[in-house]
A = this chain, B = another copy of it.
Amino acid sequence: MTTQETRLGDIGERELTRHIQGRIPRAEVPVGVGDDAAAVNLTSPALVTADVLVEGVHFVRDAAPPRLLGRKALTVNLSDIAAMGGVSRHAIVSLCLPPELELSWLDSLYDGLLERAAEVGVSIVGGNVARSPGGIVVDVTLLGEAEHPLLRSGAHPGDLVVVTGELGAAAEGVALLRQGARLHEDGQLSTTGVWTESSAEALETCLRAQLDPRPPLALARSLAERGLAHAGMDLSDGLSSDLAEMCRRSQVGARIEVAALPISPAVAALERARGGDPLPVALHGGEDYELLLAVDPTQFGALQELAGVWGVAVCGIGEFFEGEPAVHLRDDEGEHPLPVEGHDHFRAEGFEGRRE
């Protein structure tokens, strides 16, 4: 297959654009890919968000199978629309790609994008491709709809602090990738002998959480429709950082209990095995893509019931109170302020710089 060897620089921008357009299924929209702009029908208010994956910052090429990267590029945006209580509809894919990149890499990226889009009923309606003199940039803009958008700013004093799912697995996944563990496109693990067989399941959980996150999209939408939360956002920068942001936007304080945190058992097992501490991973690790919610205590039962329908765990981890917008952590030794230590891509050396 000569296609396997073809590099983007061999093809040229126009042919490449047509190649990509040829792969995208016709969308049921007034104007799809291929014109100056796409035309779509959306109910108001329409939601719009954009999130980008940058090589060397959000991923490294040899650790991120392109199909999974394509899935994730869409998923991080699906998570934002869902956290607003919305339904995702249409995506625009903007790529900056180095000319030495293989066409097969791009095809796999699109396999993942299209696969994920089909799973959630999203149509790709446009985009563009530009040469990158540096690394790969995958920037997806996602359009959606929400009758009653769920905001970060609605938390009331007395509301419960609620999170879905488990915390820390995606951040643990980054640490594992840095140590050389890999999850391949076919689902195969390669662990370069660092870990025992008994930890394979925990390894896979964390690598998958990092490389192919699954936010609770349906739960987010249906809880917003039923008005079961006063405020919501997705956990992308880490609990400490995101909860501080919700406090700031809602002008309330929050107190959370260490004992109540749904730390991922996989993280607990792996950290225990290496003599580490799972708590900071769960508190500050980014990219959980779970929901952070402010829930009236009288509605927590209804939320639990609804979450059960969707097979998602929900966990009350503390409460909001009237006071300075800051987060406090309560553990065996009492209550103390929780510093914001979510991952900061600007200050950090980044993924690549810190690889081991």
Contact = CB atoms under 8 A, between A and B. Distances in A.
Contacts of A128: 50-52
B149 A39 contact: yes
B30 A39 contact: no
B344 A14 contact: yes
B234 A36 contact: yes
Contacts of A81: 36-37
Interface majority SS on A: helix, strand, loop or mixed?
Answer: mixed
Given A81-B37, A346-B131, A141 B50 contact: yes
Nearest to A351: B133
Contacts of A127: 50
Nearest to A90: B48
Contacts of A237: 14
Contact of A39 (B47, B135, B345, B346): B47
A35 B84 contact: yes
A89 to B, nearest CB: 10
B57 A46 contact: no
A144 interface: yes
14 contacts: A9-B347, A30-B149, A35-B151, A36-B83, A37-B86, A39-B46, A39-B149, A48-B90, A48-B125, A50-B126, A52-B130, A58-B130, A131-B345, A133-B353
